[in-house]
Amino acid sequence: MKIMIVEDDKMICDLVGETLGKWGFEVVKKIDFSNVLQTYIEEDPHLVLLDINLPSHDGFYWCNQIRKVSKVPIIFLSSRDTPMDMVMSMNMGGDDYIQKPFYQDVLVAKIHALLRRTYSYTEIAANVIEHNGVVLNFNDGDILVEGKKAELTKNEFNILRILMQQKGSIVSREKIMRSLWEDENFVDDNTLTVNMTRLRKKLTGLGKEGFITTKKGQGYIIQ
């Protein structure tokens, strides 16, 4: 999939482009800031990363112009932090807003989620899950929160994956054990408790205490 980066800060543009390239995206960075719409039409990207402060016209203007011809997903990148800027971004047709400075992992997670919603792009979606600032990376089995990382064991990773994939729903202990070990009859129930305790400890260490909630007699849930 192709992503067009409309960003006049070369350092940020190159860093984001390099990160997206590692994830297998085709990246468009060479932009005519006097005619962003024309570049968009010529390149026909699947998603646009759009800065607000640009030469000639600002990002709001170009978002409005793109929206006249396309429903392509647009994520605003901006150092502005006022509520009005965020509201303007959404009102002009933006799909998401990320304030600078931002973590590359969070940006990638948001891109994956937006592409999945727009194109049902399950291959990309399978590589990362993000919820409430917690990024679960399928490539290396790590979790990241605001740039801080923790390594997970195979069981810890699978427990968190199951819960995040079904966020908002209670997942029973039996269902988790079936997913982990296929047949819970051959598993000591205490094994799940030990893994859950270790996982929660790692989340707490990253500043996410209470990320997983226990529903007594029912199971676990990520709200």
SS3 150: strand
Which residue matches tokens 């959404």?
90
Q: How far apart are CA 62 and CA 51, in angstroms?
A: 10
Residue 221 confidence class, pLDDT cut points 50, 70, 90: very high
Q: What is the reported pTM?
A: 0.55
By DSSP bridging, strand 142-145 and strand 213-215 are: unpaired
Question: Between the ranges 24-33, 82-91, 132-141, where is the mean pLDDT highest?
Answer: 24-33
Question: Between the ranges 1-5, 102-106, 116-120, where is the mean pLDDT highest?
Answer: 1-5
Tell me the CA end-to-end span of the chain in Å, nearest whole number: 31
Q: How far apart are CA 220 and CA 223, in angstroms?
A: 10
Q: What is the pLDDT of residue 100?
A: 85
Residue 3 has pLDDT above 90, yes or no: yes
Cα–Cα separations (whole angstroms), residue 144 to 84, 94, 154: 29, 26, 16
Go through the domains of the chain in sequence order and give each one's CATH number. 2-125 (3.40.50.2300), 128-221 (1.10.10.10)
